[in-house]
Amino acid sequence: MNHAVELDRVTVSYRENIALHDISLTVEKGAFVAVVGPNGAGKTTLLTLINGLGTLQHGRVHIFNTLLTTRTINRIRRDIGYVPQHVNIDPRMPICVYDVVMLGRYPRIGMFRNPSKEDHRIVTGICERIGITDLVLKPIGHLSGGEAQKVSLARALAQEPRLLLLDEPTANLDPRAQHEIKDLIEKAYERDRLTVFFVTHILDHLPLVCSHAVLLKKGTIVAEGRIKDVFTRARLTEVYEHPVEPPIMNKEALNA
Ligand code: ATP
């Protein structure tokens, strides 16, 4: 089986509030999946669930064909890199960019052990790839939004994940920073043969390599599959209850 993620009739609730209701989804290894839907649709909850941190009311989750349980969770999470929606950092936090990127290695290094030469080589290489080498000694609380998002991506990639979960990685960035982050994500996806989940409600923020989509509304999957089948004007407009044009997801069309 070539599945990265399988959700089987999953329900997640926060007390009486059902955030995901009886959803099933299978995603193949190597897919780049857009997770789209209006505010409160359940997109972050879906990522949290795949990341092994949600509380299931019903259903089963398999990641790379392993059933997610309290016994398997740590092993599974080693393969999952997560870039959260908000990173609130106290500017007085006495930790520099390099140390934050190194945090991504700890699922592999193990608690209370020191990074090896190989860990330092990986972190240095990723900082170069992401273009943050000149920031490595800067305190983590002293970064711009675009810089902080690059560091967050570098930390997730330092883990050498097989599955990368991105929660609105381009939100609140200026157009140039959006473009840079999208480009870095595309390159990492292609270079490392990752499976990617990319949450956004701004469809124009989706990288062109995006192959599949999951459209959520009020905790249910309205549609999922290949992007051209899911992102129709009628369906997007219905889900957002507002006129929405499908994004241009084709390089030739963009260059025309
Ligand atoms: P957005 O686009 O606004 O970030 P989303 O699609 O990511 O939204 P979720 O954050 O997954 O949606 O929220 C889904 C539902 O679950 C919402 O009704 C939300 O209020 C609720 N919810 C999310 N997190 C919690 C929590 N920690 N406690 C209680 N309810 C929560």
State pLDDT tens for residues 41-58.
999 999 999 999 888 899
Ligand 1 center–CA 73 separation, angstroms = 23
Low-confidence ranges of the chain (pLDDT < 70): 1, 249-256
Which ligand 1 atom sits nearest the alpha carbon of residue 201? 2
Q: Ligand 1 mean position to 85 CA, how many Å?
A: 12
The number of the ligand 1 atom at minimal distance from the alpha carbon of 219 is 14
Q: Output the CA–CA distances (angstroms, integers) from residue 238 to 23, 156, 207, 223, 235, in the order listed.
A: 19, 34, 23, 12, 5
**Rounded distance between C-alpha atoms, residue 175 and residue 205, angstroms:** 10
The model's pTM = 0.93
Question: What is the number of the ligand 1 atom nearest to the C-alpha of 85?
Answer: 4
Distance 40 CA to ligand 1 centre (A): 5
Task: Please choose from 45, 55, 202, 205 the residue to mutate so as to test ligand 1's pocket, defined by most ligand atoms within 8 A of CB.
Answer: 45
Q: What is the Å distance from ligand 1's center to 7 Cα?
A: 19
Q: What does the alpha-carbon distance between residue 198 and residue 166 come to, in Å, rounded to a whole number?
A: 5
pLDDT in tens, 139-177: 998 898 889 999 999 999 999 999 999 999 988 888 888
Residues with beta carbon inside 6 Å of ligand 1? 14, 17, 19, 37, 39-45, 201
